[in-house]
Amino acid sequence: MRPEPRLLIVDVLAAAPTRQVVGPAAWCVLESLAAMGQPGSSVVELAVSTRSLAESFGMSKD
């Protein structure tokens, strides 16, 4: 079964200063975390391990 399609909206003008400070890799992680939040909520709360987050990017400790 395919997951339900989700939409993550980012205000690129408002996000630009933060994206420039944290860098592209950290920004990708931030977007990934935001996308894991509950749909329809303005607050993102989740529990995820570093290992499972790294796996979602095709990375591992090895």
pLDDT-based confidence at 13, cuts 50/70/90?
very high
pTM metric for this prediction: 0.64
pLDDT higher at 5 or 59 = 59
List Cβ neighbours of 17 (8 Å cut-off, separation of 6 or more): none
Interval 15-60: pLDDT, tens = 899 999 999 888 888 888 887 777 777 777 778 888 888 887 787 7
Contacts 24+ apart (CB under 8 A), 3-12: 6/35, 6/39, 8/34, 8/35
Q: Which stretch of DSSP H or E encloses residue 55?
A: helix 50-56
pLDDT-based confidence at 61, cuts 50/70/90?
low
Instruction: Reply yes or no on whether the pLDDT at 8 is more than 80.
Output: no
Residues in the chain: 62
The Cα–Cα gap between 8 and 32 comes to 10
